Copies of this chain bind each other. A is one copy, B any other.
């Protein structure tokens, strides 16, 4: 693989970005050969700055749901760009989009649109407090709900007060949730839950319906708001809020990433139970009313309703899971696939510092498949059975390669430093 342009860009980035590329798209915690910069994306494929092509199982960490640069979505976006994007007020598309999303999402009576997932989760927290007049917010330990000071996973620059009244429980544990609610006493404002456990660096877990139902009951009993953070999973598991699959309706749900197929928009949806609190808070942003992402969302949601995108991704995900399981088993390597098939995470047994996973991912990358060694991945509508078959064939070779080289593998220096820093805390 050619790497000259990417390495040069990384050097330049070190000068003019504080630590190179920051945030979730930094390759600092990825195998050394992973490219940082990309020059093109189309359908299920991605080209790095040097022109190397990959079948991309990250889908921009979620936004690519139909396929990159989907012409159906881009056509309406381009037409709207000529008519008006950021204006002195919203376009009629804002009302149409709120009507569409409240129609599609069973629990929702109203919508607010914003830009980042963190905007939506922060508004949900604020609305829960405004609606209830209480302060304590429960979140599952280790869950990611954004990168503002109240929720960012890295504590630099965060003061204790930023996390005041944010308390934790263990995902999927009825007992732990009940204990946290009891501790909150009469000051419980809201309970956050991701639709399934999709924390980084660890096996994913589907939601235990007993836990989800108990969260709903506890909110009903205390008056607290139940908040499903569907930013990462929204519309990849269902054409509705993801917890409709287990029959539990939240008061608030947060959405982002994919519902405009990559155009920048996120949303907070709520039921009438939270409407008064939502009407009371003040939150806004320079581009929250822009028309282009709203018409892109209307078109994307129409395609979701009218196509078999979900059944197609489920079929491909099932094909992938079975094929990888067989390939790993035939090599005798301990390989775990967790989470919904359309949002898989791959981890290796007896791999505490991820050296096996990193080596396997690099072996996949060399074969033109972009997989992630510790973050959940994403399928998209543009993928085909042939793409999955190619992935399985590459994986088979990569499993053998890793097994043969296992004794020679070294841990990733930055990841190893991070884990030893965490262990020292």
- What residues of chain A have their CB less than 8 Å away from a CB belonging to chain B? 5, 9, 12-13, 15-19, 21-25, 27, 35-42, 46, 48-49, 56, 58-64, 68-69, 74, 77-78, 81-92, 94-95, 98-99, 102, 109-112, 114-119, 122, 125-131, 135, 147-150, 152-154, 156-159, 161-162, 164-165, 231, 256-257, 262-264, 266, 270, 275, 277-290, 293, 370
Contact = CB atoms under 8 A, between A and B. Distances in A.
10 contacts: A17-B95, A18-B270, A42-B84, A78-B78, A88-B370, A115-B116, A127-B157, A157-B280, A159-B164, A264-B286
Contacts of A25: 88-90, 284, 288-289
A23 B147 contact: no
A67 to B, nearest CB: 12
Contacts of A98: 13, 16-17
A56 B284 CA distance: 21
Contacts of A131: 157
A293 to B, nearest CB: 8
Contacts of A279: 18-19, 22
Contacts of A283: 22-23, 147-148, 152
Pick the 3 closest A-B CB pairs, nearest first.
A23-B284, A130-B157, A154-B282
A41 B370 contact: no
Contact of A37 (B77, B91, B275): B91
Q: Which of A46, A85, A130 is packed against the most chain B CB atoms within 10 Å?
A: A85
Contacts of A282: 22-23, 147, 152-154, 156
A82 B95 contact: no
Given A16-B110, A86-B64, A157 B281 contact: yes
A351 to B, nearest CB: 23
Contact of A63 (B39, B86, B161): B86
A62 B125 CA distance: 29
Contacts of A116: 114-116, 119, 285-288
Given A284-B22, A289-B23, A41 B87 contact: yes
B83 A39 contact: yes
Contacts of A37: 89-92, 94-95
A60 B81 contact: no
A281 B12 contact: no
A38 to B, nearest CB: 5
B16 A99 contact: yes
B9 A154 contact: no
A288 B23 CA distance: 9
Given A36-B89, A92-B9, A289-B23, A278 B84 contact: no
B161 A161 contact: yes
A286 B88 contact: no
Q: Which of A87, A112, A290 is packed against the most chain B CB atoms within 10 Å?
A: A87
Q: Which of A95, A116, A117, A165 is packed against the most chain B CB atoms within 10 Å?
A: A95
A134 to B, nearest CB: 10
Contacts of A35: 89
Nearest to A270: B18
B81 A69 contact: yes
A38 B291 CA distance: 10
